[in-house]
Amino acid sequence: MVYKAFPISPSIPLSYTKSVMTMLLIILALLGLLIYLISIEIQKDRLDIAPYEPFVCCPSCSSPVEDTDYICSECKGSLSRECSNCRKTSFWTFNFCPFCGYSLVLPQESND
């Protein structure tokens, strides 16, 4: 007994088969796009975390201040340091003068 390959039915034209396959391909591509867009939205929801901002307090009254402020908004205390080498004023959070490089940390302030 000789088996022959299953012949394509002559009742279904080749152009119809191509159009069905094309539509199936388009449907699968759209389904993949939909799954991708849903996964992107899920990832965005997971990543909606506020960026880290360092918490800086005034050395006099301990109220929160920006690290670029020169005067505390609560106690009106000075938040700047004057370099003893070049006499220029810099932010109080700096450990070294940005103008001459001299150390702004007093010996009793160092954490040894």
Amino acid at 90: S
Asked if 67 contacts 91 with a C-beta cutoff of 8 angstroms, the reply is yes
Give the count of domains, the chain: 1
**For a pLDDT cut of 70, what percent of the chain falls above it?**
71
65 or 46, which is more confident? 65
Q: Is residue 27 part of a domain?
A: yes
Q: Is residue 36 part of a domain?
A: yes
Confidence of residue 52 (pLDDT cuts 50, 70, 90): low
Q: Is residue 9 part of a domain?
A: no
pLDDT of 16 higher than 70:
yes
pTM of the model: 0.41
Q: Is residue 31 part of a domain?
A: yes
Instruction: State the residue for tokens 């302030």.
Output: 109
Q: Is residue 98 part of a domain?
A: no
Range of the domain at 28: 15-48
Q: Is residue 110 part of a domain?
A: no
Q: Is residue 20 part of a domain?
A: yes
- Nearest Cα to Cα of residue 99 among 89, 109, 110: 89
Quote the CA–CA distance of 62 and 74 in Å, as a whole number.
Answer: 9
Quote the CA–CA distance of 66 and 61 in Å, as a whole number.
Answer: 14
26 or 55, which is more confident? 26
15 or 39, which is more confident? 39
